[in-house]
A and B are shown apart, each in its own frame.
Chain A
Amino acid sequence: MRGARRIEYLERDTYRQRRLRDAARILPVFATVLFFLPLFWDWQAAGGIRPSVLIVYLFGLWAALIALSALISHLIRFSDTDESDAPTEGDDG
């Protein structure tokens, strides 16, 4: 029951888990921004941009995101006792 009891400060371990959730939430945002980045490149420049550069950029970024996602999902816990996602210590639910 929300509101009845709100824990304001968390233990170290729980705190880390909350921050991992934040990371899991923010990762797709960064992914979106970075995937849109090639739109700002100067495609009209003399000689243009070689496709190999785009390939390396996109696939490199993609692989990095996969690695980060793997890391986060490896560390993150589905804590069954604390599924309320109560907004404490910067966790906005």
Chain B
Amino acid sequence: MISFNLLILVSLAYVVFLFLVAFAAERRAKRDSGQWLRNPLVYTLSLSIYCTAWTFYGAVGYAARSGFEYLTIYLGPTIIMIGWWWILRKLVRIGKTQRITSVADLISSRFGKSTVLGVLVTVLAVVGTTPYIALQLQSVTQSLAVFAAEPGSGWDGRDFDSAAVWIAVGLAVFTLIFGTRNLDVNERHHGVVMAVAVEAVVKLFALVAVGVFVIWGMAGGVAEMLARIDAAVIADWHPVPHRWVGLIFLSAAAFLTLPRMFQVMVVENADEKHLATASWAFPLYVLIMSLFVVPIAVTGLALLPEGSNPDLFVLTIPLATGNEGLAILSFLGGFSSATSMVIVATIALATMVSNHIIAPIWLSSTQKGAALSGDVRGVIVLSRRLSIAVILALGYLYFRLSGGGGALAAIGLISFAGVVQVLPAMIAGIFWRGANRIGAGTGIVIGFVIWAWTLFLPSFGAGAVLSEFVMAEGPFGLAWLRPYALFGITGLDPVIHAVFWSIFFNTAALVILSVLTFPNPMERLQGAQFVNVFEHSAGARTWSQGAARAEDLLVMAQRIIGHAEAQEMFRQEARAQGIDGYLPEVTPELIGRLERTLSGSVGAATAHAMVGQLTGSAAVSVEDLIAVADETAQIVEYSNQLEAKSAEQDRTARALREANEKLTAISIQKDAFLSQISHELRTPMTSIRSFSEILREGEIDAEARGRFAGIIHDEATRLTRLLDDLLDLSYLENGQVQLDVGRGTLASVLDRAVMAAGLSDGRLVLHRDAAREAVVIETDLERLAQVFINLVSNAAKYCDAARPELTIRVSGDAEACQVDFIDNGTPLDADAQVLIFEKFSRLADESKAGGAGLGLAICRQIMESLGGEIAYLPGQGGPAFRVTLRRTVRMAAQ
């Protein structure tokens, strides 16, 4: 038989072991900044504080009473964990960027750093969690009682309550030592987390050990166990749909909102990536935890006498079968479950109470500037320690007053239903920018009141708080307000009934009031920061007109976060501003950073209030918000402009490159032309000179003299024409040309051009369409004819087809008319198309044609001065030119 002293000894040894683990973790963290502790496995194990003594002992009792319904308590968190990408990832990110210290801080910070909301959530959390702490104390004393009831335990019948006192005191000591080491809650509580992780392993191991014992030790295998289950009372179980769905929802919601879960999941999270591991490892943990529950329950029901408390089967089965070692292990498992929950819950609640209730009261009770004169750090630490003691005392008090009765699971669910009133505000807060303080606050109050009326107050028993008359007939005989049947709905289980109505009205109030009322600028600012946390993780900005002196801020910061850290922070800030020493300029950035740092210690609302005391400008105006939006818009605009500019520069560079290539080509052409024109000038000059020499010698007949004079004349004419062309072009280019505008049909101009082009030899076949050419145009007809002559004669000269043909095609609309000259020679290649309109350009070996390569250049100049254009028209099967005449000045005839 296990003597009571042995049990106490084992428990003490275990507690000492936990203290050592916590100390070692703290030391280790100090030495290498906790790298080794920043481990996804430790994180996952720390999440297991979800499984409290209620789970460890209570789940078996739950299964014995309500079959498989106990699974809902694990399925909810499983769904949340495998859906981590939705909510948890966002919560953790927000927790990091906004330095959130608790659920209350999250809600308060999101809704404009509201003190009132912080207080509300804190009160809700304390009321919801205190019974739960009592429950843990109760479970430990009950498990002690089981051992005491064993014959020969040496238990002398002392008051069990003294055990509860000692447990509470022990937990308080542990929590005080390891829970308030750092003022900044965002700095991890390595000792606590490590101890919790170790306890997670112990409780899992203990439950698995008992499970393995009943399956293989007693039933004799899995198949046999399943057969026993099928034969047991549990076989009659069938799910009650509204409870199944409602409890899965409740447990999922509680998983997110329970203060202790938020503490380990968000506040103590060291690395977002740990979530990825926890997303499967935590469901695996709870799967194993719940796997053996039914076998243990079934075995207990069969083995133990009628009327045994099924909540304690985990202990009583090993004891009844004489496995004392297993019983002690199981006791330690339950002890671990209870203590880890109490420690973390107490830290979480103490942070809330001290940041959201004590600190604001202290701040407002002292005069302005208290942040400078008072010992802030000392006050905060003291308030947190006091809070821990008070919360544990409250838990103990509740335990004493409630008399330690009732099924464990019932209290657990009531507690869950209370804390999930935060859920609508939390979810709306991180996904809906429109949610505001008034909506969230009213929703929480309404939800809290409904929960208290329909579940919490009745839970003390009929006649305890609410009279039996009220329970049966409703207050003042109003039947529709009966606690278990609001609006006359009686078909629901009380827990689900309470959860449904409280969450329904909570959410409705949140949505309706958020839609109808207007948030203040701080709320809108924080709303954007929270909802769009993945877009700008830079952290919140605070606005201030900078009335504070940097020195004051430094003094205050030193009092809260410590001398060395504050000085380091200020020096960094100063360095960033390019200033030597410790005192930077007071900029909005500095104040924002300071406020964020402080909020890690005292919560966002308090930090904001403290900084506000110094800077004297706690208010943010809509103008400030819009200014920030403008600033952002300006940055976007500026970057767009830069992009546009750079694209424009690209275009310019490309154009310049092209121009350069063209210039180079023209320069080569020009060189070629100079030799060409020298040649052109020299050839007629040579013949003029030689023939004039012959004429001077005079010994020739009259007929020959006439012929020679003719040659001289022709050559002189050719020279004149060349010089005329050059002169003409020069005039056109300088815009000195005088236009002689007249009216005539296009056909007449074309006729004249064809005639003047000298197609007398009849080699070139012309295709024209007289009907289309009957267009009256108003322009300088002479100049236009010059262009046409050039094009027709070019076709005649250069067309290299065996049977040269030229098609003149006229098309057009009200705006412009196009005249295309298409012959059937070899089309120009791309290079030639570009150069053909340049001066002095002429296609390579066509010099025989006798022109100087000025024709098309002149044409282009003429068309420009006429307000039209001439261009090469590719893709016509031969060289083709399009002359476009604008009709803006000239009117169409028909």
Chain A residues with CB under 8 Å of chain B are 1-4, 21, 24-25, 27-29, 31-32, 35-36, 38-39, 43-44, 48-52, 54-55, 58-59, 62-63, 65-70, 72-74, 76, 78, 83-85
Contacts and interface: CB of A to CB of B under 8 A. Distances in A.
13 contacts: A2-B535, A24-B83, A28-B86, A31-B78, A31-B83, A35-B75, A39-B241, A51-B230, A58-B71, A66-B280, A66-B284, A69-B82, A78-B276
Contacts of A83: 534-535, 537
A49 B768 CA distance: 97
B826 interface: no
Nearest to A68: B82
Interface stretch (B260-268, B488-496, B632-640): B632-640
B235 A50 contact: yes
B287 interface: yes
Given A1-B635, A43-B238, A84-B535, A69 B287 contact: no
B291 interface: yes
B832 to A, nearest CB: 41
B123 interface: no
Contacts of B236: 48
Contacts of A54: 68
A66 B234 CA distance: 27
A28 B83 contact: yes
Nearest to A84: B535
Interface in B271-292: 272-273, 276-277, 279-281, 283-284, 287, 291
Given A63-B287, A65-B283, A69-B283, A32 B79 contact: yes
B20 interface: no
A27 B83 contact: yes
B534 A84 contact: yes
Given A4-B640, A28-B79, A66-B280, A52 B244 contact: no
B287 A38 contact: no
A58 B305 CA distance: 30
B408 interface: no
A48 B235 contact: yes
B299 to A, nearest CB: 14
B668 interface: no
A55 B283 contact: no
Given A27-B83, A39-B245, A59 B291 contact: yes
A51 B294 contact: yes
A51 B535 contact: no
A27 B287 contact: no
B877 interface: no
A52 B239 contact: no
Given A70-B280, A78-B273, A62 B82 contact: no
Contact of B78 (A48, A65, A70): A65
Contacts of A39: 239, 241, 244-245
B791 to A, nearest CB: 49
A25 B86 CA distance: 6
A83 B276 CA distance: 16
Given A4-B640, A21-B85, A85-B534, A62 B273 contact: no
B258 interface: no
Contacts of B283: 62, 65-66, 69
Contacts of A28: 79-80, 82-83, 86
A58 B68 contact: yes
Interface string B200-233: 0000000000000000000000000011011010
Given A1-B636, A54-B68, A55-B226, A36 B244 contact: yes
A62 B78 contact: yes
